[in-house]
Amino acid sequence: MHIVAVIPARIASTRLPRKILREIAGRPMLAWVYEAARKSSALDEVIVATDSGEIMDVCKKHGFAARMTSPDCKSGTERVYEVSREVKADVYINVQGDEPLTRPEQMDQLVALMRNSEVQVGTLRTPCADIDIDNPNAVKCVADANGRALYFSRATIPFDRDQTGSSRYFKHLGFYAYRKPALEKFMSWPESSLEQSERLEQLRFLENGIPIHVAETPFDTVGVDTEEDLRRVDQILLGR
């Protein structure tokens, strides 16, 4: 299979302005993400997809492959789709640009999931750390016995009604794998009601009947949405 990873990178972000270029342990956040993805031997190409000339300049400075995409893209998936119209691949990997703790092992695991030709959309989850169980910025994922996602939510799911303490919580990680037909269907549908409510674009697939297959990884990440997240990741990477 020919595998292309796309890193959607926009300069405008509401909760943490210009976060993709913020420095973490002395380097731009985008550099941590790009270079981690490049270390995966399962990926044939890694491309930054942006609507910002400033981000393009940073990519040129660091030697990162990059393409300009429309400023009208509403989600990372839409940026991946734009790249897919020009760059041919069997599978496209969406690597969120605000995941500076990305690891090549996560890319390898996603590609392994897509070796099954029946899988149209794949993603990752990891056991949820205590600090993230009630954190709405850490999306929770519940899957069935066959590894297909039942739901993603910013709420704490499953709900431990009887407070037994036996519930297992899984955090969804910001990586997706798609085949081109799934991307095309995604683009043909309007935003779904659950997607609008949770602000989680992957719910558009579930509401329209396309299963999302989920692999479990031991490698957690911290998606950066706030100054607190930025400081937390900075300490982790400096500790490495």
Q: Residue 110 belongs to a domain with what CATH number? A: 3.90.550.10
For the cut 80, the answer to whether the pLDDT of residue 217 exceeds it is yes
User: Which pLDDT does position 239 carry in this prediction?
Assistant: 83
Could you tell me the two tokens for 90? 């069997």
For the cut 80, the answer to whether the pLDDT of residue 15 exceeds it is no
Placement of tokens 């996560």 in the chain: 106
For the cut 80, the answer to whether the pLDDT of residue 148 exceeds it is yes
- Mean pLDDT lowest for which of 69-73, 189-193, 198-202? 69-73
* Phi and psi, residue 173, nearest 5°: -100, 150
Average pLDDT of the segment spanning 150-162: 95
Average pLDDT of the segment spanning 141-153: 97
- Nearest CA to 99 out of 3, 237, 4, 207 is that of 237
pLDDT tier, 74 (very low <50, low <70, confident <90, very high otherwise): confident
The Cα–Cα gap between 79 and 77 comes to 5
The conformational region for residue 149 under phi > 0 = left, psi -120 to 50 = alpha, else beta, is: beta
- The pairing of beta strand 121-127 with beta strand 170-178: antiparallel
User: Which pLDDT does position 238 carry in this prediction?
Assistant: 87
Placement of tokens 């037909």 in the chain: 181
* Contact assessment for residue 182 and residue 89, using Cβ atoms and an 8 Å cutoff: no
Higher pLDDT, 11 or 186: 186
- Mean pLDDT lowest for which of 11-20, 22-31, 144-153? 11-20
Domain extent, residue 70, equals: 3-239
Q: Is the dihedral of CA 165, 206, 109, 4 positive or negative?
A: negative
For the cut 80, the answer to whether the pLDDT of residue 14 exceeds it is no
* Phi and psi, residue 44, nearest 5°: -85, -35
User: Which pLDDT does position 56 carry in this prediction?
Assistant: 96
For the cut 90, the answer to whether the pLDDT of residue 226 exceeds it is no
| DSSP code per residue over 186-199 | HHHSPPPHHHHHHT
Could you tell me the two tokens for 115? 């070796």
Mean pLDDT of the chain: 94
How many domains are contained in the chain? 1
